[in-house]
Amino acid sequence: MTTITRRPEARRLPAHARPNRGRRRSWVTITLFVLPALALFLLLVVAPIVVAVYASGFKWNGFGGLPTDFIGFDNFTRLLESEIFFTDMWHLLVLVLLCLVVQLPMALGIAMLLNQRIRGRAIYRLVFFSPYVLSEVITGVLFSLILSPTSGLANGILGLVGLESDFLADQDTALMSLFVVMTWKYFGFHMMIYLAGRQNIPNELLEAARIDGATGWEVFRHVTLPLLGPTIRISVFLSVIYTIQLFDLVWILTEGGPAHSTETLAVTMFDIGFGRSQVGYASAISVVMFVLSLVFALGYQRFVMRRDLEGATTAMGDTR
Protein backbone atom coordinates (compact mmCIF):
# COMPACT_ATOMS: atom_id res chain seq x y z
CA MET A 1 0.00 0.00 0.00
CA THR A 2 2.72 2.45 0.97
CA THR A 3 4.11 2.36 -2.53
CA ILE A 4 0.89 3.67 -3.98
CA THR A 5 -0.49 6.06 -1.38
CA ARG A 6 1.66 9.05 -0.84
CA ARG A 7 1.03 11.49 1.91
CA PRO A 8 0.48 15.09 0.82
CA GLU A 9 3.79 16.33 2.19
CA ALA A 10 5.68 13.69 0.21
CA ARG A 11 4.16 14.98 -2.98
CA ARG A 12 5.50 18.44 -2.47
CA LEU A 13 9.10 17.22 -2.59
CA PRO A 14 10.87 17.92 -5.87
CA ALA A 15 11.25 14.82 -8.01
CA HIS A 16 14.98 14.42 -7.61
CA ALA A 17 14.74 14.50 -3.84
CA ARG A 18 12.42 11.49 -3.64
CA PRO A 19 13.96 8.27 -2.45
CA ASN A 20 15.09 6.32 -5.52
CA ARG A 21 14.11 2.90 -4.21
CA GLY A 22 10.46 3.78 -3.75
CA ARG A 23 10.31 5.13 -7.25
CA ARG A 24 11.78 2.01 -8.72
CA ARG A 25 9.37 -0.17 -6.78
CA SER A 26 6.41 1.80 -8.01
CA TRP A 27 7.66 1.34 -11.57
CA VAL A 28 7.79 -2.41 -11.05
CA THR A 29 4.22 -2.34 -9.77
CA ILE A 30 3.05 -0.25 -12.69
CA THR A 31 4.78 -2.53 -15.18
CA LEU A 32 3.22 -5.63 -13.63
CA PHE A 33 -0.24 -4.14 -13.76
CA VAL A 34 0.11 -2.80 -17.28
CA LEU A 35 1.74 -5.87 -18.80
CA PRO A 36 -1.35 -8.00 -19.59
CA ALA A 37 -3.22 -5.10 -21.15
CA LEU A 38 -0.08 -4.04 -23.01
CA ALA A 39 0.42 -7.54 -24.41
CA LEU A 40 -3.16 -7.65 -25.66
CA PHE A 41 -2.84 -4.14 -27.08
CA LEU A 42 0.33 -5.08 -28.95
CA LEU A 43 -1.17 -8.31 -30.25
CA LEU A 44 -4.61 -7.06 -31.24
CA VAL A 45 -3.97 -3.44 -32.17
CA VAL A 46 -0.32 -2.76 -32.97
CA ALA A 47 0.51 -6.07 -34.68
CA PRO A 48 -2.45 -5.92 -37.10
CA ILE A 49 -1.51 -2.35 -38.02
CA VAL A 50 2.04 -3.47 -38.73
CA VAL A 51 0.81 -6.42 -40.79
CA ALA A 52 -1.58 -4.19 -42.77
CA VAL A 53 1.20 -1.70 -43.49
CA TYR A 54 3.43 -4.56 -44.59
CA ALA A 55 0.75 -6.13 -46.81
CA SER A 56 -0.07 -2.76 -48.40
CA GLY A 57 3.25 -2.93 -50.28
CA PHE A 58 2.33 -6.13 -52.10
CA LYS A 59 0.07 -7.33 -54.85
CA TRP A 60 -1.56 -10.14 -52.92
CA ASN A 61 -4.82 -12.07 -53.18
CA GLY A 62 -4.66 -13.16 -49.55
CA PHE A 63 -4.29 -16.86 -50.25
CA GLY A 64 -1.55 -19.18 -49.15
CA GLY A 65 1.06 -17.85 -46.73
CA LEU A 66 2.77 -14.49 -46.84
CA PRO A 67 2.73 -12.12 -49.83
CA THR A 68 5.69 -12.23 -52.19
CA ASP A 69 4.94 -9.85 -55.08
CA PHE A 70 6.36 -6.56 -53.77
CA ILE A 71 5.16 -3.51 -55.70
CA GLY A 72 6.20 -0.63 -53.46
CA PHE A 73 3.74 2.25 -53.31
CA ASP A 74 1.75 1.12 -56.35
CA ASN A 75 -1.32 0.28 -54.26
CA PHE A 76 -1.34 3.81 -52.86
CA THR A 77 -0.87 5.57 -56.19
CA ARG A 78 -3.59 3.36 -57.63
CA LEU A 79 -5.91 4.41 -54.82
CA LEU A 80 -5.12 8.10 -55.24
CA GLU A 81 -5.75 7.82 -58.98
CA SER A 82 -9.07 6.02 -58.57
CA GLU A 83 -12.29 7.91 -58.81
CA ILE A 84 -13.89 5.96 -56.00
CA PHE A 85 -11.39 7.28 -53.44
CA PHE A 86 -12.50 10.85 -54.09
CA THR A 87 -16.14 9.81 -54.06
CA ASP A 88 -15.55 8.23 -50.64
CA MET A 89 -13.76 11.31 -49.32
CA TRP A 90 -16.54 13.54 -50.60
CA HIS A 91 -19.13 11.41 -48.81
CA LEU A 92 -17.03 11.59 -45.65
CA LEU A 93 -16.88 15.37 -45.89
CA VAL A 94 -20.61 15.71 -46.54
CA LEU A 95 -21.54 13.41 -43.67
CA VAL A 96 -19.17 15.13 -41.22
CA LEU A 97 -20.53 18.56 -42.17
CA LEU A 98 -24.11 17.36 -41.83
CA CYS A 99 -23.30 15.90 -38.41
CA LEU A 100 -21.79 19.21 -37.28
CA VAL A 101 -24.51 21.40 -38.71
CA VAL A 102 -27.62 19.29 -38.17
CA GLN A 103 -27.17 16.28 -35.92
CA LEU A 104 -25.17 17.78 -33.05
CA PRO A 105 -27.09 21.09 -32.78
CA MET A 106 -30.31 19.09 -32.77
CA ALA A 107 -28.98 16.86 -30.00
CA LEU A 108 -27.91 19.96 -28.07
CA GLY A 109 -31.31 21.59 -28.48
CA ILE A 110 -33.18 18.54 -27.29
CA ALA A 111 -30.77 18.13 -24.39
CA MET A 112 -31.51 21.70 -23.29
CA LEU A 113 -35.26 21.09 -23.57
CA LEU A 114 -35.05 17.88 -21.58
CA ASN A 115 -33.10 19.65 -18.90
CA GLN A 116 -36.17 21.75 -18.09
CA ARG A 117 -38.72 20.55 -15.62
CA ILE A 118 -41.33 19.13 -17.97
CA ARG A 119 -43.77 16.36 -17.38
CA GLY A 120 -42.51 12.91 -18.38
CA ARG A 121 -38.98 14.04 -19.16
CA ALA A 122 -37.53 10.72 -17.97
CA ILE A 123 -39.66 9.00 -20.59
CA TYR A 124 -38.51 11.41 -23.31
CA ARG A 125 -34.90 10.84 -22.35
CA LEU A 126 -35.41 7.09 -22.50
CA VAL A 127 -37.19 7.21 -25.84
CA PHE A 128 -34.59 9.46 -27.48
CA PHE A 129 -31.71 7.41 -26.16
CA SER A 130 -33.13 4.00 -27.01
CA PRO A 131 -32.09 3.91 -30.73
CA TYR A 132 -28.49 4.07 -29.60
CA VAL A 133 -28.93 0.79 -27.75
CA LEU A 134 -29.93 -1.07 -30.92
CA SER A 135 -27.15 -2.70 -32.91
CA GLU A 136 -26.24 -1.14 -36.25
CA VAL A 137 -27.36 -4.21 -38.14
CA ILE A 138 -30.82 -4.19 -36.56
CA THR A 139 -31.12 -0.48 -37.27
CA GLY A 140 -30.13 -1.16 -40.88
CA VAL A 141 -32.65 -3.96 -41.39
CA LEU A 142 -35.37 -1.92 -39.68
CA PHE A 143 -34.83 1.09 -41.92
CA SER A 144 -34.49 -0.92 -45.10
CA LEU A 145 -38.05 -2.07 -44.36
CA ILE A 146 -39.29 1.40 -43.43
CA LEU A 147 -37.64 3.08 -46.43
CA SER A 148 -38.63 0.43 -48.98
CA PRO A 149 -39.91 2.41 -51.99
CA THR A 150 -42.77 0.03 -52.75
CA SER A 151 -43.97 -1.32 -49.42
CA GLY A 152 -42.28 0.81 -46.75
CA LEU A 153 -43.92 2.65 -43.88
CA ALA A 154 -42.27 5.96 -44.81
CA ASN A 155 -43.80 6.05 -48.29
CA GLY A 156 -47.09 4.84 -46.84
CA ILE A 157 -47.25 7.97 -44.69
CA LEU A 158 -45.61 10.42 -47.10
CA GLY A 159 -47.84 9.09 -49.90
CA LEU A 160 -50.85 10.55 -48.11
CA VAL A 161 -49.51 14.04 -48.79
CA GLY A 162 -47.94 13.17 -52.14
CA LEU A 163 -44.30 13.29 -51.02
CA GLU A 164 -43.18 9.77 -51.92
CA SER A 165 -39.48 9.21 -52.48
CA ASP A 166 -37.24 6.34 -53.49
CA PHE A 167 -34.95 7.11 -50.53
CA LEU A 168 -32.06 4.63 -50.61
CA ALA A 169 -32.91 3.40 -54.11
CA ASP A 170 -32.15 6.72 -55.78
CA GLN A 171 -28.63 8.09 -56.27
CA ASP A 172 -29.77 11.62 -55.46
CA THR A 173 -31.49 10.87 -52.16
CA ALA A 174 -29.51 7.86 -50.91
CA LEU A 175 -26.83 9.76 -49.00
CA MET A 176 -29.39 12.01 -47.29
CA SER A 177 -31.49 8.98 -46.36
CA LEU A 178 -28.40 7.36 -44.89
CA PHE A 179 -27.72 10.51 -42.88
CA VAL A 180 -31.28 10.50 -41.53
CA VAL A 181 -30.80 6.92 -40.32
CA MET A 182 -27.43 7.82 -38.78
CA THR A 183 -29.00 10.77 -37.00
CA TRP A 184 -31.92 8.69 -35.74
CA LYS A 185 -29.46 6.25 -34.24
CA TYR A 186 -26.87 8.64 -32.77
CA PHE A 187 -28.50 11.92 -31.77
CA GLY A 188 -29.73 10.29 -28.54
CA PHE A 189 -26.19 9.42 -27.59
CA HIS A 190 -24.95 12.96 -28.10
CA MET A 191 -28.04 14.29 -26.34
CA MET A 192 -27.15 12.20 -23.31
CA ILE A 193 -23.57 13.53 -23.27
CA TYR A 194 -24.83 17.12 -23.48
CA LEU A 195 -27.38 16.48 -20.76
CA ALA A 196 -24.68 15.16 -18.46
CA GLY A 197 -22.46 18.13 -19.31
CA ARG A 198 -25.32 20.55 -18.66
CA GLN A 199 -26.01 19.07 -15.26
CA ASN A 200 -22.41 19.64 -14.26
CA ILE A 201 -22.86 23.39 -14.65
CA PRO A 202 -23.53 24.87 -11.19
CA ASN A 203 -26.89 26.61 -11.00
CA GLU A 204 -25.31 29.54 -9.14
CA LEU A 205 -23.64 30.72 -12.35
CA LEU A 206 -26.87 30.69 -14.32
CA GLU A 207 -28.68 32.35 -11.46
CA ALA A 208 -26.02 35.04 -11.21
CA ALA A 209 -26.31 35.76 -14.91
CA ARG A 210 -30.05 36.04 -14.64
CA ILE A 211 -29.80 38.41 -11.66
CA ASP A 212 -27.47 40.52 -13.80
CA GLY A 213 -30.35 40.82 -16.24
CA ALA A 214 -29.36 38.33 -18.95
CA THR A 215 -32.18 36.96 -21.10
CA GLY A 216 -32.67 33.20 -21.63
CA TRP A 217 -30.77 33.25 -24.89
CA GLU A 218 -27.93 35.32 -23.42
CA VAL A 219 -27.60 32.92 -20.51
CA PHE A 220 -27.37 30.03 -22.96
CA ARG A 221 -25.01 31.82 -25.32
CA HIS A 222 -22.59 33.30 -22.77
CA VAL A 223 -22.76 30.92 -19.81
CA THR A 224 -24.13 27.50 -20.72
CA LEU A 225 -22.49 27.12 -24.13
CA PRO A 226 -18.94 28.08 -23.05
CA LEU A 227 -19.19 25.80 -20.04
CA LEU A 228 -20.38 22.98 -22.30
CA GLY A 229 -17.26 23.48 -24.44
CA PRO A 230 -15.37 20.38 -23.36
CA THR A 231 -18.48 18.23 -23.80
CA ILE A 232 -19.17 19.57 -27.28
CA ARG A 233 -15.56 19.10 -28.31
CA ILE A 234 -15.53 15.46 -27.27
CA SER A 235 -18.86 14.81 -28.99
CA VAL A 236 -17.57 16.33 -32.25
CA PHE A 237 -14.49 14.17 -31.92
CA LEU A 238 -16.50 10.95 -31.49
CA SER A 239 -18.80 11.91 -34.32
CA VAL A 240 -15.98 12.48 -36.83
CA ILE A 241 -14.09 9.31 -35.90
CA TYR A 242 -17.31 7.30 -36.26
CA THR A 243 -17.95 8.77 -39.69
CA ILE A 244 -14.45 7.90 -40.91
CA GLN A 245 -15.05 4.26 -39.99
CA LEU A 246 -18.70 4.10 -41.08
CA PHE A 247 -19.44 0.62 -42.43
CA ASP A 248 -22.13 -1.56 -40.84
CA LEU A 249 -25.10 0.71 -41.44
CA VAL A 250 -24.13 1.42 -45.06
CA TRP A 251 -23.49 -2.23 -45.81
CA ILE A 252 -26.89 -3.33 -44.56
CA LEU A 253 -28.82 -0.46 -46.11
CA THR A 254 -27.27 -0.10 -49.57
CA GLU A 255 -23.96 -2.01 -49.86
CA GLY A 256 -22.59 1.37 -50.97
CA GLY A 257 -24.99 1.75 -53.91
CA PRO A 258 -26.80 2.75 -56.00
CA ALA A 259 -23.82 3.40 -58.25
CA HIS A 260 -21.47 4.10 -55.31
CA SER A 261 -23.62 7.00 -54.10
CA THR A 262 -23.37 5.97 -50.43
CA GLU A 263 -19.99 4.25 -50.50
CA THR A 264 -17.50 4.96 -47.70
CA LEU A 265 -13.81 4.13 -47.41
CA ALA A 266 -14.57 1.11 -45.23
CA VAL A 267 -17.11 -0.23 -47.74
CA THR A 268 -14.59 0.17 -50.57
CA MET A 269 -11.99 -1.63 -48.50
CA PHE A 270 -14.34 -4.52 -47.75
CA ASP A 271 -15.39 -4.83 -51.38
CA ILE A 272 -11.80 -4.83 -52.64
CA GLY A 273 -10.48 -7.18 -49.95
CA PHE A 274 -13.25 -9.72 -49.62
CA GLY A 275 -15.27 -9.24 -52.81
CA ARG A 276 -12.32 -9.04 -55.17
CA SER A 277 -9.61 -10.86 -53.23
CA GLN A 278 -7.16 -7.97 -53.59
CA VAL A 279 -5.97 -8.01 -50.01
CA GLY A 280 -2.81 -5.98 -50.67
CA TYR A 281 -4.81 -3.15 -52.19
CA ALA A 282 -7.42 -3.36 -49.42
CA SER A 283 -4.62 -3.13 -46.84
CA ALA A 284 -3.44 0.06 -48.52
CA ILE A 285 -6.95 1.51 -48.13
CA SER A 286 -7.00 0.47 -44.48
CA VAL A 287 -3.64 2.18 -43.97
CA VAL A 288 -5.01 5.37 -45.51
CA MET A 289 -8.03 5.18 -43.19
CA PHE A 290 -5.71 4.64 -40.25
CA VAL A 291 -3.54 7.63 -41.13
CA LEU A 292 -6.64 9.73 -41.64
CA SER A 293 -8.02 8.81 -38.22
CA LEU A 294 -4.63 9.23 -36.57
CA VAL A 295 -3.91 12.64 -38.07
CA PHE A 296 -7.37 13.84 -37.17
CA ALA A 297 -7.24 12.42 -33.64
CA LEU A 298 -3.81 13.84 -32.85
CA GLY A 299 -4.45 17.17 -34.54
CA TYR A 300 -7.80 17.58 -32.85
CA GLN A 301 -6.42 16.71 -29.44
CA ARG A 302 -3.41 18.95 -29.93
CA PHE A 303 -5.24 22.04 -31.17
CA VAL A 304 -8.88 21.80 -30.17
CA MET A 305 -9.06 19.72 -27.03
CA ARG A 306 -5.80 20.99 -25.57
CA ARG A 307 -7.27 22.51 -22.42
CA ASP A 308 -9.79 19.72 -21.88
CA LEU A 309 -7.10 17.09 -21.82
CA GLU A 310 -4.60 18.92 -19.68
CA GLY A 311 -2.62 16.35 -17.78
CA ALA A 312 -3.67 13.49 -20.02
CA THR A 313 -1.75 13.32 -23.28
CA THR A 314 -0.48 16.54 -24.75
CA ALA A 315 0.79 18.21 -21.61
CA MET A 316 2.10 15.14 -19.86
CA GLY A 317 5.52 16.64 -19.17
CA ASP A 318 4.26 19.76 -17.43
CA THR A 319 2.39 18.12 -14.60
CA ARG A 320 5.28 16.16 -13.17
Partner 1 sequence: MKRTVTLIAAAVLVAGCGGGEAPQPGSESGAPQKVTLEWWHLSTSDPLKTVYEKRAKEFQAANPHVTIKMTVLENEAYKSKVTTLTQSGKAPDLFATWGGGVLKQQVDAGLVKDISADVAPVIDTFTTAALAAYQFDGKTYALPTDIGMVGFWYNKKLFEKAGIAEPPTTWSGYLDAVSKLKAAGITPIALAGKEKWPGHYYWAYLAMRIGGLPALQQAAVDHDFTKPAFVQAGQQLKALADLQPFQKGFLGAAYSTPDGQAATVSNGKAAMELMGQWAPNVQIDAGKGLGEDLGFFPFPAVEGGQGAITEAFGGGGGMAVGADAPPEAIELLKFLTSEENHTKAVAENAVLPVLKGEESAVKDANLKIVADSLATATGFQLYLDQAYPPAVGAEVNDSVAELLAGAKTPEQVAQDITEVAKSE
Chain positions contacting partner 1, by CB under 8 A: 44-45, 47-49, 51-52, 55, 61-65, 144-145, 148-152, 166-171, 174, 241, 244-245, 247, 254-255, 257-260, 266, 269, 271, 273-279, 282-283, 286, 289-290, 293
Whole-angstrom distance, CA of residue 278 vs CA of residue 143: 31
Whole-angstrom distance, CA of residue 88 vs CA of residue 104: 22
Whole-angstrom distance, CA of residue 239 vs CA of residue 187: 10
The smaller minimum CB distance to partner 1, of residues 94 and 209, is found at 94
The smaller minimum CB distance to partner 1, of residues 20 and 150, is found at 150
Question: Nearest distance from residue 118's CB to partner 1, in Å?
Answer: 39
CA 117 to chain centroid, in Å, comes to: 31
Q: Beta partners for 58? A: 70
Question: Nearest distance from residue 274's CB to partner 1, in Å?
Answer: 5
The smaller minimum CB distance to partner 1, of residues 57 and 152, is found at 152
* Exposure string for 210-247, b = 16+ CB within 10 A, e = fewer: eeeebeeeebbeebbeebbeebbbbbbbebbeebbebe
| Cis peptide bond N-terminal to 36, omega within 30 | no
Question: Nearest distance from residue 45's CB to partner 1, in Å?
Answer: 6
The identity of residue 67, as a single letter, is P
Question: Nearest distance from residue 30's CB to partner 1, in Å?
Answer: 24
Question: Nearest distance from residue 236's CB to partner 1, in Å?
Answer: 17
CB 224 within 8 A of CB 206: yes
Question: Nearest distance from residue 94's CB to partner 1, in Å?
Answer: 18
The smaller minimum CB distance to partner 1, of residues 185 and 260, is found at 260
The smaller minimum CB distance to partner 1, of residues 153 and 208, is found at 153
The smaller minimum CB distance to partner 1, of residues 131 and 273, is found at 273
Q: Beta partners for 69? A: 59
